[in-house]
Amino acid sequence: MFTAFLKHLFPRVVLARNLKITYTFCLGGMAFTVFLLLIVTGCLLLFYYTPSPDNAYKSILFIEENVFGGKLIRNIHRMGSHFFLILIFLHTLRVLLTGSFKFRKYNWVVGMFLLLLVLFEGYTGYLLPMDQLAYWATQTGMELFKIFPLGELIVEEILIPDGVGGPLTLSRFFAFHVFVIPLIIMILCVILFYRIRKDKGVLPYL
């Protein structure tokens, strides 16, 4: 009874004892934090970005040269996307190497969907500046995607109906990058965190 009273009185001590800092500590949590940072910086960039083939690159230049802190915000968003992908990959690798997926198969499936979505999210964002690097990188990626089953149909009918750099293609990449994929990622994160809490993960053993 006295021990229960101490645990209730000093929950932070119990939490610190059970959540020890290791080299793989909270990779998923750090990835989610970076995701929130990407949402904030992305929303700030939306105030000036224009999703049209003729004005997209001009709006990027305007953000970097004329908006106060614009270049910093864009660089944070760009570097954050790299860190987000790295953290998700390391977290997935840790789960795989430690065999955790064997005990939480549902979480493993959700996590793999998240990894694929993060890859596609970064890919859709790559075209938005509409410079030469973005154009040719997207063009190469679309040609590779056609190799997969139904790939050519998906590419020509859904992703780039009027070719890379076309107004409809840019609008669809913009919609995927800004709204569709982040919304799905957020929903899957909520499901994943709910399952982790339900399985008594990331909790003090009271």
Question: What does the DSSP assignment read for 2-50?
Answer: HHHHHHHH-HHHHHHHHS---TTTTHHHHHHHHHHHHHHHHHHHHTT--
Query: How many folded domains does the chain comprise?
Result: 1
Within-domain flag for 6: no
| Domain harbouring 83, CATH code | 1.20.810.10
Decide: 164 and 142 in contact? Cβ < 8 Å.
yes
Whether the CB-CB separation of 167 and 52 falls below 8 Å is answered with yes
Task: Render pLDDT for 152-203 as a digit per residue (tens, 0 to 9).
Answer: 888 888 888 888 888 999 999 999 999 999 999 999 999 888 887 776 655 4
- Cα of first residue to Cα of last residue in the chain, in angstroms, is 13
Which residue did the predictor score with more confidence, 177 or 97?
177
- The H-or-E segment that residue 99 falls in is none
Residues spanned by the domain of 96: 25-198
pLDDT at 143 over 50: yes
Question: Could you tell me if residue 2 is inside a domain?
Answer: no
pTM above 0.85, yes or no: no
**What does pLDDT average to over the chain?**
84
User: Residue 66: is its pLDDT beyond 70?
Assistant: yes
- High-pLDDT (> 70) share of the chain, %: 84
pLDDT digits (tens, 9 = 90+) for 28-47: 888 999 999 999 999 999 99
* Position 6 confidence tier, pLDDT thresholds 50, 70, 90: very low
> Quick check: is 19 in a domain?
no
Query: Can you spell out the DSSP letters for 111-177?
Result: HHHHHHHHHHHHHHHHHTT-SHHHHHHHHHHHHHHTTSTTHHHHIIIII-TT-TT-HHHHHHHHHII
Residue 44 and residue 164: Cα distance in Å, rounded?
Answer: 26
77 domain-assigned: yes
